[in-house]
Amino acid sequence: MTQAQQPRRTRAAICWLIATALFGAGVIGPTSAFADVPPLLPIQGYLADKQGAAINGSKNVSFRLYSLPTGGTPVHQETLQIVAVDGYFTAYLGDDSGHPLDLSKFRDNARVFLGIEIETDGESLPRLQLATTAFAAQASYCGDATNLGGKAPSAYANASHSHDWSEISGKPDMFPPTAHAHGDADIACYADLGVEGYLDNNSPYDLLTQSQGDGRFAQKNHAHDAGEIQSGLLSDQRFSAYADLGNEGYLDNNSPGDLVLQAQGDSRFVNTNEMNSVNSNMIVDNAISMQDLALGSVPMDRTTAPIGAAATSMTLAAAATTYYIMSGQPVYADTSGTCIVTVSLRVGASAPTGYYYTVPSYQIGMGSPTGAFNTSFAYGMPTVVGTQFTTTALTGLVPVTAGNTYQFGCSAYISTPGSSFVGATFYCQTSWVCN
């Protein structure tokens, strides 16, 4: 037999493995009766080769516990290295710290079977059913550990429990059961009833029942009608508005410190939010400025011909054939009519290469100009005045419609787009008379 053949003969001898599981039943003294049960299961066996010769040396042996004699999933398994001497070995299941033995497996399974595999030769069959030893059989009565004297916990009351009045026996039929008396020391509220214990005897230390107190005294949160005050004076501190009613407490006596009723004040004064409360008879001459009037709040009287004028300037940013300069002052028309508009235009430029003309223009609201009135008069030619180029003042008629807001200004018609007027500032002077 060669050394290479020897391992195969050893693995082939698995079917002849003899294994025994032993549960010892030793004598335990009183002081150790409640010691923890060690979670170890001793296993002893005998290893022999195929010819029956004992095996010596170390082997890796896998131990598995099942709840079935065949098949199923192990409820516990671990691999230990055992040392066989003349074929005999001893191992302890649970000795592998990575796979501790849970003793509840023997409680939760009615039967437990042991399967053993040497190295990787496959598990030997049949599995060995583990059984009890003689005195260990009394452990079958541990199922009664939750009982006391053979009675279930439901037969006993918890430490913290209560009883209904009907469950109490031996109680008297009435209280107090017999005639009796109490001394002062029996009263928790007052130690000496001889001094303080009488009811309603008008002593300073008298005790009152709640109904007696309610009949004598008013509650703290009560009120009185003014007619119930019959005599005496109220101190100044009683009044939060004025400290001295003697000087300031009279109504409507025309004194600077007088108090006024709300109805009196409403008839004398104007409220801050009262609308349409000022008429023309209440306005002093020159007392209202233009800033006090909202746009369109005062209608225009066409019989007095409203007159206005404005001067406005703008810088030409890019080449253009038509350039509008509109007044910043609005004119609101309450009725339809006609406005006579006069404009003149000048521009500051050092050496212009073109010409410009101007006519009156208008726009409705704040939009783009809606019309340039140049049909009833000629263009104004520019006139050189130093470095200022000025057109002749021109006049045009602008019809206005009631309900619209107008702005008047100049329309500058530039003869040569891209001329040196780009970057120059145009100045427009506008005046108007409307009827």
Question: How high is the pLDDT of residue 213?
Answer: 77
Question: How high is the pLDDT of residue 421?
Answer: 82
> Which of 72-81, 228-237, 297-306 is the least confident region?
297-306
Higher pLDDT, 265 or 12: 265
Question: How high is the pLDDT of residue 74?
Answer: 96
Question: How high is the pLDDT of residue 26?
Answer: 35
The hierarchical CATH code for the domain 302-434 is: 2.60.120
**pLDDT single digits (tens) 225-275:** 777 777 777 665 565 554 445 555 566 666 776 777 777 777 777 776 666
Question: How high is the pLDDT of residue 9?
Answer: 36
**pLDDT single digits (tens) 90-134:** 999 998 888 899 988 988 998 999 999 988 888 988 999 998 877
Domain 12-25+38-132 annotated CATH 2.60.40: yes
Higher pLDDT, 73 or 14: 73
Listed by start position, the domains of the chain span 12-25+38-132, 302-434
Chain mean pLDDT for the chain: 75
Determine the average pLDDT of the residues in 83-94: 93
Question: How high is the pLDDT of residue 19?
Answer: 42
Neighbours of 358 (CB within 10 A): 30
